[in-house]
Amino acid sequence: MDYYHIKSERLNFRKLTEQDIPSWAEFFVNNAGLQYFNFDLSKSKEALAEEWIQIQLKRYQNNNYGHLAAELKTDGTFIGIAGLLPKQLKGKQEYEVAYSLKPAYWGKGYGTEMATRMKNFGLKNMDVKRLISMISFGNEASISVAKKNGMKFLFDTEFDGELLHIFGITR
């Protein structure tokens, strides 16, 4: 299956584009979860959204997977992003199951659906021994999603100056 055209029960996934920047800026409004990210919140929400999407566009060019836009199948509404992200962790190449939702879509099971779909794609289609999720201390919602996704706590580590829980699942 083509990574850039994955589907789940309620969602379609596609490559992000620069046209998604204004919509993704909504992620940075009234989002209590921003405390779990390493963002410079002195920047505008548009600048933060542009930086995030530009990183993904570079990943696509290098065939390094990356976040995809998640859209509702019912009407095409862009509700969040999810993907498999390449990470160097403790000197090893890993792939992180990662997702983020606009606050208006929290609590509806979309995070679990997104993470599960990415995990299933990675385990079936990638030559990896395991997939991980990197979760900030205190982010109980993401810990819950990782557990629902069949992941187990592996260890705590520092990554880019932040203390993180590492959850994972092996083949």
Looking up residue 133, the CATH number of its domain turns out to be: 3.40.630.30
In this prediction the pTM is 0.92
Total domain count for the chain?
1
pLDDT in tens, 68-127: 999 999 999 999 999 999 999 989 999 999 999 999 999 999 999 999 999 999 999 999
Give the pLDDT of residue 32.
84
Task: Give me the pLDDT at residue 1, please.
Answer: 63
Domain that holds residue 158: 3-170
pLDDT higher than threshold 90 for residue 48: yes
Query: Would you say 11 and 114 are in contact if contact means Cβ atoms under 8 Å apart?
Result: yes
